[in-house]
Amino acid sequence: MQREQIRAKLAAAAPAIAPSILLCDYTQLAQEISSLEQAGARLLHLDVMDGHFVPNFTFGMTIVEAARRSTDLPLDVHLMMDNPGRYLRQFREAGADVITVHEEVCHDQSELADLVAEIRDLGALSGVAINPPTPLESIDKVVTDCDLILCMSVMPGFGGQEFNPVALEKLAALRDRDDVTAFLEVDGGVNHDTIADCTQAGANMLVVGSAISSGADYNERFAELERLIK
Ligand code: DX5
Ligand code: ZN
């Protein structure tokens, strides 16, 4: 998919739940993805962890590519890794539609701006993520021209952590700016108790891991969450 098509699909879905496949059964990846799609998912969130920037490993482009062959949904790839610039092209070629990099892995804002430009040149939507302690000012240089801003509501690394409301302040500040056109995403601890606060603060992409995948019935869990945001 090309940028305009990806953007149009996300805009049509927003506010949208982006289920993370982090906790799914990888022996049944295609079936898991199909269950999420049937439950109502309009995009999928894929958590790439490198065991260095975050204290956990997940997967790389092989699983992104397998997910790509399993679905036509937009793939929102969250790179929790050092030196992401080295792999952007490979993630795009594997089928990533949104590629999000962390501010914390960059030496300065120029490096972040270069990554954003590179993602855009590859034809994907460019996302920028900030951890709970990272202030919004640290993305000043890209805030008006990236396609998605991800405010982390946990320290990244593991599913099932408790929601940190510092993300809500950042989302609200971004929502209130006329010059910010990016999708506003929140990730970590988003569940039945926290999701409505997130949309009220301005989030329109809601990453959900354990609140969907720890239950047997994706349909019911997805529908309950959707009721809380629509
Ligand atoms: C956090 C990941 C998240 C995670 C969310 O390190 O980036 O996408 O899967 O999981 P929950 O919703 O369980 O916090
Ligand atoms: Zn994530």
Count CB neighbours of 148 within 10 A. Answer: 21
Sequence-ordered list of residues with C-beta below 8 angstroms from that of 178, at least 6 positions apart, any chain: none
Q: Per the structure, how many domains does the chain have?
A: 1
- Per-residue confidence (pLDDT) for residue 214, from 0 to 100: 76
What pTM does this model have? 0.98
* 69 CA to centre of ligand 1 in angstroms: 23
List, chain by chain if needed, residues with CB within 6 Å of any ligand 1 atom: 20, 22, 45, 47, 78, 154, 156-161, 187-190, 207-211
- Per-residue confidence (pLDDT) for residue 213, from 0 to 100: 85
Query: Which residues of the chain are modeled with pLDDT < 50?
Result: none
Burial class (CB in 10 A: 0-12, 13-18, 19+), 89: middle
For 218, the domain range is 3-229
Supply the CATH number for residue 35's domain: 3.20.20.70
Ligand 1 atom 7: the closest Cα is on which residue? 156
* 26 CA to centre of ligand 2 in angstroms: 17
3-state secondary structure 143-189: CCCCCEEEEECCCCCCCCCCCCCHHHHHHHHHHCCCCCCCEEEEECC
Helix (H) or strand (E) holding 213, with range, is helix 210-213
As beta bridge partners, residue 125 has: 98
- What is the set of active-site residues? 47, 187
